[in-house]
Amino acid sequence: MSSYSAPLKDMKFLLKDVIGLAEVGSLPGCEDATPDTADAILEEAAKFSSEVLDPLNVVGDREGPSYDAATSSVKTSPGFKEAYRQFCENGWNGLGFEPEWGGQGLPKLVSTPVLEMLKSANLAFSLCPMLTQGAIEALVLRGSEQLKTTYLRKMVAGTWTGTMNLTEPQAGSDLSLVRTRAERHTDAENGAHYRLFGQKIFITWGEHDVAENIIHLVLARTPDAPEGVKGISLFVVPKFLPKADGTPGRRNDVRAGSIEHKLGIHGSPTAVMLYGDKGEGAVGFVVGEENRGLEYMFIMMNAARFVVGLEGVALAERAFQRAVHYSSERLQGRDLVEGRTVPIIRHPDIRRMLMLMKSQAEATRALAYDVAAAMDIARLHPDETRRKQAQGYVDLMIPVVKGWSTEAGLQVASLGVQVHGGMGFIEETGAAQHLRDARITTIYEGTTGIQANDLLGRKLLRDGGGAMRAWLESLKPLDSALAGAKNPDVVALRGPLAGGVQALIDALKYFVATAKQDPRATYAGAVPFLMLTGHVAGGAMLARSALVAERKLGESGADADFLKAKIATARFFAEHILTQSGGLRDAIVGGASTIMAIADDKLIAV
- List, by residue number, the catalytic residues: 445
Enumerate the β-bridge partners of residue 219.
234
Parallel, antiparallel, or unpaired: how do β-strands 213-220 and 191-204 relate? unpaired
The DSSP code for 168 is B
| Contact between 233 and 290 (Cβ < 8 Å) | yes
Q: How many other β-carbons are positioned within 10 Å of the β-carbon of residue 449?
A: 16
Torsion of CA 213, 214, 215, 219, to 10 degrees: -150
| Contact between 536 and 506 (Cβ < 8 Å) | no
| Contact between 298 and 394 (Cβ < 8 Å) | no
Amino acid type, 76: T
Nearest to 126 by CA among 72, 49, 63, 66: 49
The DSSP code for 49 is I
| Contact between 364 and 313 (Cβ < 8 Å) | yes
Helix (H, G, I), strand (E, B) or coil at 338: coil
| Contact between 305 and 441 (Cβ < 8 Å) | no
DSSP 366-398: HHHHHHHHHHHHHHH-S-HHHHHHHHHHHHHHH
Q: Which residues of 28-37 are buried (b: 16+ CB within 10 A; e: fewer)?
A: eebeebeeeb
291: Cα within 13 Å, side-chain hemisphere: 8
CA 325 distance to own-chain centroid = 26
Residues in the chain: 606
Nearest to 220 by CA among 233, 208, 211, 230: 233
Helix-strand-coil split of the chain, %, nearest 5: 60, 15, 25
Residue 508's contacts (CB-CB under 8 Å, 6 or more residues apart) are 460, 465, 468, 469
Enumerate the β-bridge partners of residue 251.
240
Nearest to 174 by CA among 234, 224, 219, 215: 219
| Contact between 240 and 254 (Cβ < 8 Å) | no
What angle in degrees, to the nearest 10, is found between the helix axes of 384-420 and 293-329? 40
Q: CA-CA distance, 308 to 119, in Å (whole number)?
A: 10
Whole-number Cα distances in Å, 249 to 159, 162, 184: 15, 17, 21
Helix (H, G, I), strand (E, B) or coil at 170: coil
| Contact between 375 and 394 (Cβ < 8 Å) | yes
Parallel, antiparallel, or unpaired: how do β-strands 213-220 and 233-238 relate? antiparallel
Parallel, antiparallel, or unpaired: how do β-strands 213-220 and 160-165 relate? parallel
Q: CA-CA distance, 579 to 356, in Å (whole number)?
A: 13
Helix (H, G, I), strand (E, B) or coil at 582: helix
